Amino acid sequence: MKYFVRQVSLLLLLTATVKGQDKPVKNLDIYLLIGQSNMAGVAEVSTLQRDTLSKVFLFNDKNQWEKAVCTQEEGFNRYSTVKKSYPQKLGPGYGFAQKLTAYVKQDIGVVVNAKGGTSIVWWQKGYEGPNDYNLYEQAIARAKAALAATPGSTIKAIIWHQGESDNSSPKNELYMSRLKKLVADLRTDLGNDKLPFIAGEVGTWNGRGKGVNPVIRQIQDSIPYSTWVSSSGLTSIDVKKNNPHFDTYSQLVLGGRYADKVLQIIYKLSPGDVTLYTGEDYTGRSVILKPGTYNSTDLERFGIGKQEIRSIDINKGAQVLCYPDNLNDKPAKYTKSINRLTNPVSSITIR
C-alpha cells in the first residue's frame, strides 16, 4: 500500500511538473533576475506582452515551469516569494526573454524574485535587522529549486537591477563594496565562481541616478565576469512627478539591452549591425536589431512605437530600407548612419 501511494504521489508530481508546457523541460539555460521595483515592474502590461513567448519558461510559485507570458495585469515577478502585495506589472524580464529567444536555439528559463523599495544592504547574505525579508536566501532557494526541477540545466547569468534606494550619500559610496560581497556570495552558493553578473543603471530623468550610476558603470573593472547596461534614453511612467519607474516601452528596451549583453558574453553572438533611435542625433530609446523585416507591431514589441524612429546608426556593410506606412510602400534606402530622418517610418527591412 505504501508503495502504491508513493507511486501515485510520484505520478502526481510529474504531472504537475509538466502542466501547462508543450513538453517536459530539461537542459534549460536559466537566468536569475533580482533587484528592486524596476526589476519587479511597475509599467503597464500591453496586449503585446500577453503573447506567449516561444521556447521560454517562467518558474512559478509551485516550483514548476510554465510557458512564459504576462497576464492582463502582471508580469514575470508575479511568482516572487518576496514580492510586495500590489500587482507586479511589466519589468525587464519579458523584453529580455523575448529578444534572447529570437537569437538562440536553446530553451530559456527565467526566475524572477525581486522586491520593490529594497536597499542593497537588505540583499546581503545573512542580513538581520529592520526590513529583513530574507531576500538573498529566497533568491538562492528559488535558483536551486529551478535547477532541481530541470535536469541538465545551468544558471547562465544573474541579472541585477537595483540602486534607486542607494543613490544618495553615503549609501552610494558603499555600494560597490556591498555589491562585491553580494556577487561573491551568489557565485559561491550557486557553485560557479565565474557566473556572469549584469547590472543596470537606474533612470536618469530629473537628475536621477547621479549617485549610483557612476558606481554601476565601474562594475566591469571592479568585479570579474561582470558588466552593465545603460539606461540612456529610457523614460518614466510619470516624469512630472519624478516617478523612478520605467514606462512600458522603456522596460522592453531595458530587457533587450540585458539580452544584448547576454548574447555577446555568453553566446558569443552579435545583437546586430543596426541601432534604431527614437530621438534625433542618436538619442532617446535605442534598440539593436539583426537582419530581418519588422513592421510597426514588431518594432513595438521591442520598445519602439509607431513612427517613433528618428535616427539610425548603421554599421559598415549593413543596409536599411525604411517604409513610411507599410511594406507595400516604396522604401527609402540607407547604407550609412543617418542622424535625422525627415519622413515617418513605420516598417523597416535590415539586410
The amino acid at 29: D
The answer to whether 122 and 113 are in contact (CB under 8 A) is no
Which cell numbers in the block locate residue 89?
506589472
Which cell numbers in the block locate residue 15?
504531472
Q: pLDDT digits over 75-93, tens only? A: 999 999 999 988 899 999 9
The amino acid at 278: T
The residue among 41, 50, 44, 49 whose CA lies nearest residue 80 is 41
Q: Is 72 exposed, middle or buried (0-12, 13-18, 19+ CB in 10 A)?
A: exposed
Query: Mean pLDDT of all residues in the chain?
Result: 93
Which cell numbers in the block locate residue 334?
540607407
Q: Provide the b/e sequence for 122-158 (b: ≥16 CB within 10 Å).
A: bbebebeeeeebebbbbbbebbeebbebbeebebbbb
Tally the residues of the chain.
351
**How much is the pLDDT for 22?**
58
Instruction: Tell me the C-alpha to C-alpha distance, in Å, between residue 98 and each of 17, 62, 79, 95, 169.
Output: 23, 23, 19, 5, 37
Q: pLDDT digits over 258-304, tens only? A: 999 999 999 999 999 999 999 999 999 999 999 999 999 999 999 99
Q: If you average pLDDT over residues 323-340, what whole number do you get?
A: 90
* Domains of the chain with CATH codes: 17-265 (3.40.50.1110), 274-350 (2.60.20.10)
The answer to whether 177 and 222 are in contact (CB under 8 A) is no
pTM passes above 0.85 = yes
What does the DSSP assignment read for 253-278?
A: HHHHHHHHHHHHHTS-----SEEEEE
The amino acid at 274: V
Position 11 pLDDT exceeds 80: no
| Nearest-angstrom CA–CA distance, 139 and 115 | 11
Position 333 pLDDT exceeds 90: yes
Q: pLDDT digits over 108-152, tens only? A: 999 999 999 999 999 999 999 999 999 999 999 999 999 999 999
| Nearest-angstrom CA–CA distance, 229 and 220 | 11
Cis peptide bond prior to 324, omega within 30° of 0:
no
Q: Work out the end-to-end distance of the chain between its first and last CA atoms, rounded to an integer number of angstroms.
A: 66
Nearest-5° angle of CA 330, CA 253, CA 139? Answer: 155
